[in-house]
Chains A and B, each alone.
Chain A
Amino acid sequence: MSRIMTIWLPRWPVQRLLQEQPELRPLPVFICRQNRRGLMTVTSWAWAAPPQAAALKRPDIRSGLSLAEAMAVLAAACGPRACRLAHVANEDRVGDHQSLETVARWCRRFSPLVALGPEAEAGGSDSLQVDVSGTADFFGGETSLARTAVWTLAARGFHARVAIADTPVASWAAARHSEQVRAARPASGQAAVSQTASGQAAVSQTAFGQAAVSQTASGQATTEESHGHWLHRRQRWVVVPPGGQRQWLASLPLSALRLPAGTCQALADVGVKSIGRLLRISRASLQQRFEPVVTLQLARLLGETAEPLVSPSGEELPRASHAFETPVFSGEFSEADFGHLLTDLVAGCLRPLTPAGWGVSSLQMRVAGECHRPTVIDVGLFRPAAEVKHLVDLLLLRLSRTRLPREILAVTVEVVAVAMLTCRQQLLFADEQPAASTEKVSGLLDRLACRLGRGAVVEPRPLADAQPESAWAAVPIAGAVGLRQPRVRSAGLAIGRQGYGGQGRWGGVGGSRPTCLFPRPQPLEVLAIAPEGPPVRFRWRGQEHWVDRIRGPERIETAWWRGPTLRRDYYIVETDTGGRFWLFRGLRRQSWFLHGTFG
């Protein structure tokens, strides 16, 4: 009989962000993503530690709202100040996933077999499943294990809900509805708990309350569906005794089985609203009426069909580790020493991969210290690589920015993800192979990303927008170079014209946009003869410029839906010294700015 522990980390993206930046705890935090239609939408949000006054009202913000609307809702519930405080972050699915994998690795202390939750297929997993068959005794029984999992995660700043049951489906359902399961446990279930957990359940009910809350102070108790606050004091773990799924989970809604919404509705129409009711219907007649997933999930719930857990990082991926005989002081261990050590380790990791044509696309290094948790360095590559030197360089780049434990016990290098290396034809005579240049670029990107952080390596993309500042965006270069989607539109500055079906003609007039656009317009002293007329003379960087020729004005009035309306008259001016500048007059205050230069 297997036993599966599910660890649910509600609203994982925000949790991760707050864990990385604890200073955001007192602020409302929104994680946003640009949806298909270019709208910023909230995918996850929380206000971990709202002030007492704001804690009373709970804004109704769910994922999928546009950011502007979410702000308006927040303002309506908690006052406009809350909006000014709000911290908005971009969604980072890769980072979320990697962090979850880190937690998964960390959870190997409970059992060697740790998998990402079943929702990982849809992307954006927020739970882990651990096969704890036979390992609970090391932690003093299952209840104790569950509690340990919650507490130790809480100590690291994570809020988790934990359930242990016979099957992955059952434990997933129980974790999502832990309160309901506890409330509805059968009377005899009490005995079951005592048996397995030697009476600790009753203690834990009170014991837990303080432990986690001191970590994650929250004034609010909310139901788990409401999106606002995941942090509440209710019971956060539950243990379903072996074979107890039928009784313990009977009251849970059908959605806990992850059935399609339409199926749930159809079943509700005949009065079948809970798992218990569903179990009383014969499988044959369910099969006649619904998708096979219904019976499949039921079988999985009861353990009739095996559902193997798949470890995310695959145990078969190579790792190499070196343990020192005596602790080494990190201060005495030079970069060169690290270089040698890592070269050995990385080479060891690569050895089984290269013959098959695999390259490393993600690598992790762990430096274990005496009493601290290990320092972990994750390196993601833009393009799979199989060169030892490159990988070592990347690790060293990160090491130089990482604080190491004072005493080092062991160093481990583990391959986290692999991908096929791209093959290419060798050229006979060319010194520089054309394909090598992309390789070099990706190598450079890897190094830059390691040095500066992944989010710092960006490329500009043109956007179609009349406001020059918004007509481009810096997009993080994600994924492997060359695998990216084709560029949006190269002539993105074109503003189409309504009416007669024609496309804009902006690009056609010899480049009406400067090659160098300043990050923000610079105020200028300008002499203009007519109040609405063009500039005649202006000073920039201490130099007088006399205007020789001008083109314009081009009036831009836009962006009212983002904030204050932009109203500007742009001129392209050529000065007596031959410089070409892009000036505008702000129509609101009649003041002049320089916004860019040509060439």
Chain B
Amino acid sequence: MGIRTPLRDGYAELHCTSNFSFLQGASHPEELVAQAALLGYAAVAITDRASLSGIVRAHAAAKDAGIKLIVGAVVEPDDAAPLVLWVTNQIGYANLCRLLTAGLMKQDLPPPAWHRSGGAALQPDDRAGRCRLTADELADHSEGLLAGLPLAWLLDREDRAVEAIENWRDRLGGQLVGLAEVAREGDDQERLAFYAQLGRQTGLPLVAAGDVRYHERSRQPLHDALAAVRCGDTIEAIRDRLLSNGERHLHEVSCLTEKFAALPGAVARTLEIADRCQFSLDELQYEYPDAIVPAGTTPAAYLRDLSWKGARQRYPGGVPAKVSDLLEHELGLVAELGYEAYFLTVFDMVRFARRRGILCQGRGSAANSAICYCLGITSVDPARMSVLFERFVSRERQEAPDIDVDFEHQRREEVLQYLYATYGRMRAAMTAEVICYRLRSAVRDLAKVLGVSLDRVDRLARVLDAGDGLEQLPVRLAEAGLDPESEAGSRLVTLVGQLVGFPRHLGQHVGGMVMTRGDLCELVPIQPASMDGRTVIQWDKNDLDELGILKVDCLALGMLSAIRRAFALVEQAGGPRLTLATVPAEDSAVYEMISQADTVGVFQIESRAQRSMLPRLKPACFYDLVIEVAIVRPGPIQGDMVHPYLRRREGDEPVHYPNQAIREVLEKTLGVPLFQEQAMRLAVVAAGFTPGEADQLRRAMGAWRRPGVIDAFHRRLIDGMLARGLSATFAEQVFRQLKGFGEYGFPESHAASFALLVYVSAWLKRHHPAAFTASLLGSQPMGFYAPAQLVRDAREHGVAILPACVQRSGWHASLERTQTADEGAAPAVRLGLEQVHGLGEAVGRRIVEVRQAGPYASMADLVRRCRLARDEVSHLARAGACKALASNRRQAVWESLRQLPAPGSMPLFEQIEKSQPQERTHQARDEARDEELPLATPLEEVLDDYQTGGLSLTAHPLEFVRSRLAEQGAVTAAVATALPEGRRVKVAGLVLSRQRPATASGTLFLSIEDESGGVNVVVRPVVWERCGPQDRRATVIVVEGRVQRRGAVVHLLATRLAGWQESSRRPPDLAGLPCMSRDFC
């Protein structure tokens, strides 16, 4: 190192592995930073393995704790010793990001030779996420970086130690130091002597470091357990690869000076390094990419031009004054803040989708603007909404506008690839999503590592409700048959408590794209995503928010796919050509249907909660739908806004406004703030906030919770309202409402965009039920209901449903004119081959394609022509899709088991077969018919249907046990729901969904169904906990409870739940019935 700065007391830890080196570090970066601050360190470096994922969190924590953070990473080049890199300035940061990106992008290369020879040290997952660099690449990008060579790495390569050091020294010169690390492994003095000798031989300055893996000693067991998870083995089995002690935590400074007494100056040099690292993430400059603008015009002018052009198209009869004012105001604000490019890129993306015929629709916060409407990004008329543009584009902060665009879920990839193509791989990438350990995954991984048998691990995972917290874990362990007090049990509980919340790997955000003007890979490392053709940055959404980086959300929406498919089917069936805009508006028949909660399959309002609201709300116009969409959200529910609104709407309660300004804000929602912008507006008019402040308030309450910030706003808000003469209770109520909105509220435009899809899907359901059903089935998985319920609902509406069949089905569900019916009759829905569980899409499509040449003559013909593998035929046969080719399903399955000659193996015979197919297949069929297979009982047929396709067109499984249910005193759902309020009743049903909304304080909602219909069951937590784990996860459940009626809505308040008990004496039982439940809890 250069000049010796005067020695100070203190220490900076330069080598800390956080848990963002997945499964290696055993502490959060925040914990490391906080602990370092507590111990009085001068600085701390977070150096994860080829990753900067944890650095933004560490940065925020370091700001809070008032400690200096050094940004760094560990790289392990293929052809040289590993290095710890630290960033000294902005150039260094850009270089580090570029380096990591380059290395991560090469991760598919085979591992280097020395790595392979590492034997036991090579962890199985080491190849995934590996950063593949060479020493030369690193040297080329070393400006602004300091590097530390962990000398411990050279210990077992003593003969080559000097060579390894010289190798780096030649490339890095004075930027290189040696990291002297010891961990009380018995030979500390020898090691330090060895380091000192290396230092003397090569002139390398030695710096003390700790190779820290966790912030305090107590995390050692977790660190060991994580190592075992990484190796995919039990701790006992990998114990030879564990560290022998727990010394790799952050030590007291006094301890360290003593430890490194043999290397004078090593501790002090940590401070020199820290001094040279003068980079903070705050210095990062984010620049949004320039828009693609025609030559000779500026982005501002181009945006203005496009907006006005759009406005004139939207309002052929002349742009209303309100809209033109709004447009001017917004354009001004956008110009002032320089966001033209952002709007233009979103416009470009939408224009691309439109050109390709991909249905899309904008929503999200900044979409709530006249500009977006005029540009065609949204379809919601600003003339009908009150718009608060500042809410999303604020003057006070350099705050990112936010536009989400929904695309058809099966075609979004095209749009993403368009963006990659337009901006290039180095300038655009997906946002990451840090996938964290949750209770279930933590229990699963740790139990395996502690040697719990696999089937018990499964059982444990099954008894865990998704809503369970750590408190419930001991109870659940006991339920799974493990004593939580036993040694193994208590170890598991402790470790799980520590592991929950740990990042596990980087996934992709649902649709956030980040684009930059310069190279994105100088801002943050980019790595390939698990999906082909996608790249992802190492930061997640919160990290981007923290640093003020814009992202464009390209989301996938299943309903858009379904709607497009339905439009196409309607047109094919000879109906009109429809678009989102041309669906006839304000159809009273549609609203009537919605008011009766007949909305299975309809976008958004099909859920249990929404359907129980509809009969009370009785929507009669589009705006009612907007409210309906917004009201059943966690925000309004938590803020206690739903019931006042309903009471006021039903006329049970007068509406009272404290003053005129507030009336203006809240009048259209009857005095209850239902939309985010109303809440913001309220803060403005009632408490005197500027719009920007109001938005800061919302954000402060949102994702980035920091206690002090909220309190400051709370005080200001209450004081502001009191100063304006409003009552304290009103003020508190507003605060509570704002709090709810922070995370879960809808902005009005958002709700309006959704409401449009609600209306369109409801219209389709009302007027083209067959096409609607077929399109929903073709767009699975989506929505709240499984195909079984969609089919059932369609049949209740008189749509004929035909089973999947190799002779007639397409891959997706399609419409079919029944031959008996005349031309005018409604078409039937033919289920697609996609309904057959286990059948791949490629195979399914091949069956359809090959059939073009003529129908299949027999099973053998099908197998030969489609070159089907044995298990593919068996899937088809078991699902009953081959009934047309065999006398019954079992014969078809039996046929499929036959060892058919592999296609092509006997070309001669194939020729013969081809020449006389009829003859041969008849023979085969006769042979099959000879076989005396037991005929399937109707129940077995139904069970087979459920097992292979998840639905049955012949009967409901509960019909078969109805007599036994009747003996037990259970009635059908139809009878139960017709009973008057308060009656006790017993109902049995197939569990369709279990739901535990966060807002319902532990109450669980079950939807169950029998042959007569469905019923919703409300289960209080006490009742739920009282029943055993088998009962909670039962496929078929028997509920005792009391009928609750509110208007047209009927619930069953459960007092007892029990799983259906099979009887060993009597034949009909439902043992083979797969679990149909979709769990949202």
Contacts of A563 in B (CB 8 A): 487
Residues in B474-490 with C-beta less than 8 Å from chain A:
478, 481-483, 485-489
Chain A 537-568 near chain B by CB (<8 Å), digits 1 or 0: 00000000000000111111110111101000
B491 on interface, CB distance cutoff 8 Å = yes
Residues in A318-370 with C-beta less than 8 Å from chain B:
none
B152 on interface, CB distance cutoff 8 Å = yes
Query: B931 and A282: CB pair below 8 A?
Result: yes
From B24, B121, B156, B452, contact of A66 by CB (8 A): B452
Residues in A36-90 with C-beta less than 8 Å from chain B:
37-39, 59-60, 64-66, 68-69, 71-73, 75-77, 80, 83
- Known contacts A69-B488, A563-B487: does B456 contact A289 (CB below 8 Å)? no
B569 on interface, CB distance cutoff 8 Å = no
A485 on interface, CB distance cutoff 8 Å = no
B237 on interface, CB distance cutoff 8 Å = yes
A466 on interface, CB distance cutoff 8 Å = yes
From A266, A288, A561, A572, contact of B236 by CB (8 A): A561
Query: A503 and B245: CB pair below 8 A?
Result: no
How far is B245's CA from A512's CA once the two chains are assembled, in angstroms?
16
Query: B245 and A289: CB pair below 8 A?
Result: no
B159 on interface, CB distance cutoff 8 Å = no
Query: B121 and A501: CB pair below 8 A?
Result: yes
Query: B221 and A277: CB pair below 8 A?
Result: no
B940 on interface, CB distance cutoff 8 Å = yes
Query: B235 and A561: CB pair below 8 A?
Result: yes
Query: B237 and A570: CB pair below 8 A?
Result: no
Contacts of A505 in B (CB 8 A): 155-156, 187
**Which of A68, A552, A562 has the most CB atoms of chain B within a 10 A radius of its CB?**
A68
How far is B150's CA from A501's CA once the two chains are assembled, in angstroms?
13
B313 on interface, CB distance cutoff 8 Å = no
Query: B932 and A270: CB pair below 8 A?
Result: no
Query: A72 and B488: CB pair below 8 A?
Result: yes
How far is B485's CA from A80's CA once the two chains are assembled, in angstroms?
9
A183 on interface, CB distance cutoff 8 Å = no
B406 on interface, CB distance cutoff 8 Å = no
Q: By the criterion of a CB under 8 Å from any partner CB, how many residues of chain B are at the interface?
A: 75
- Known contacts A272-B934, A502-B121, A561-B224: does B452 contact A465 (CB below 8 Å)? no
- Known contacts A39-B236, A269-B893, A555-B247: does B121 contact A68 (CB below 8 Å)? no
A425 on interface, CB distance cutoff 8 Å = no
A285 on interface, CB distance cutoff 8 Å = yes
Contacts of A39 in B (CB 8 A): 234, 236-237, 451
Query: B486 and A75: CB pair below 8 A?
Result: yes
How far is B242's CA from A8's CA once the two chains are assembled, in angstroms?
46
How far is B929's CA from A282's CA once the two chains are assembled, in angstroms?
12
B78 on interface, CB distance cutoff 8 Å = no
Q: How far is the CB of A278 from chain B (nearest CB, A)?
A: 11
How far is B488's CA from A502's CA once the two chains are assembled, in angstroms?
32
Query: B189 and A551: CB pair below 8 A?
Result: yes
A271 on interface, CB distance cutoff 8 Å = yes
Query: A555 and B224: CB pair below 8 A?
Result: no
How far is B932's CA from A280's CA once the two chains are assembled, in angstroms?
7
How far is B452's CA from A66's CA once the two chains are assembled, in angstroms?
6
Query: A496 and B241: CB pair below 8 A?
Result: yes
How far is B266's CA from A417's CA once the two chains are assembled, in angstroms?
71
Known contacts A282-B931, A505-B156, A560-B224; 17 additional CB pairs below 8 A are A60-B481, A72-B483, A72-B488, A76-B478, A80-B486, A270-B890, A271-B936, A271-B940, A272-B933, A500-B152, A505-B187, A509-B186, A554-B186, A555-B245, A558-B239, A560-B491, A565-B221
B878 on interface, CB distance cutoff 8 Å = yes
A401 on interface, CB distance cutoff 8 Å = no
Contacts of A69 in B (CB 8 A): 451-453, 456, 482, 488
Chain B residue with the shortest CB-CB distance to A513: B186
Q: How far is the CB of B829 from chain A (nearest CB, A)?
A: 28
Query: A465 and B245: CB pair below 8 A?
Result: no
From B485, B874, B893, contact of A75 by CB (8 A): B485
Query: B890 and A68: CB pair below 8 A?
Result: no
Chain B residue with the shortest CB-CB distance to A489: B240
Query: B940 and A554: CB pair below 8 A?
Result: no
Residues in B432-481 with C-beta less than 8 Å from chain A:
450-453, 456, 478, 481
Contacts of A72 in B (CB 8 A): 481-483, 486-489
Q: How far is the CB of A570 from chain B (nearest CB, A)?
A: 7
Residues in B163-206 with C-beta less than 8 Å from chain A:
183-187, 189-190
How far is B453's CA from A64's CA once the two chains are assembled, in angstroms?
8
3 tightest A-B contacts by CB?
A: A554-B186, A464-B240, A466-B244
Residues in B219-264 with C-beta less than 8 Å from chain A:
220-221, 224, 227, 233-237, 239-247
B1040 on interface, CB distance cutoff 8 Å = no
B898 on interface, CB distance cutoff 8 Å = yes
Q: How far is the CB of B899 from chain A (nearest CB, A)?
A: 6
Query: B898 and A71: CB pair below 8 A?
Result: no
- Known contacts A39-B237, A272-B934: does B184 contact A498 (CB below 8 Å)? no
A483 on interface, CB distance cutoff 8 Å = no
Chain A residue with the shortest CB-CB distance to B115: A501
How far is B187's CA from A500's CA once the two chains are assembled, in angstroms?
18
A261 on interface, CB distance cutoff 8 Å = no
Query: B927 and A285: CB pair below 8 A?
Result: yes
How far is B485's CA from A521's CA once the two chains are assembled, in angstroms?
29
Contacts of B689 in A (CB 8 A): none
B153 on interface, CB distance cutoff 8 Å = yes
Chain B residue with the shortest CB-CB distance to A562: B236
- Known contacts A77-B481, A288-B899, A561-B235: does B244 contact A71 (CB below 8 Å)? no
How far is B245's CA from A280's CA once the two chains are assembled, in angstroms?
66
Query: B184 and A553: CB pair below 8 A?
Result: yes
Query: B150 and A498: CB pair below 8 A?
Result: no
How far is B157's CA from A503's CA once the two chains are assembled, in angstroms?
10
Pairs A–B under 8 Å by Cβ, sample size 6: A69-B488, A76-B486, A77-B481, A501-B114, A551-B187, A560-B220
Contacts of A562 in B (CB 8 A): 236
Contacts of A500 in B (CB 8 A): 76, 82, 150, 152-153
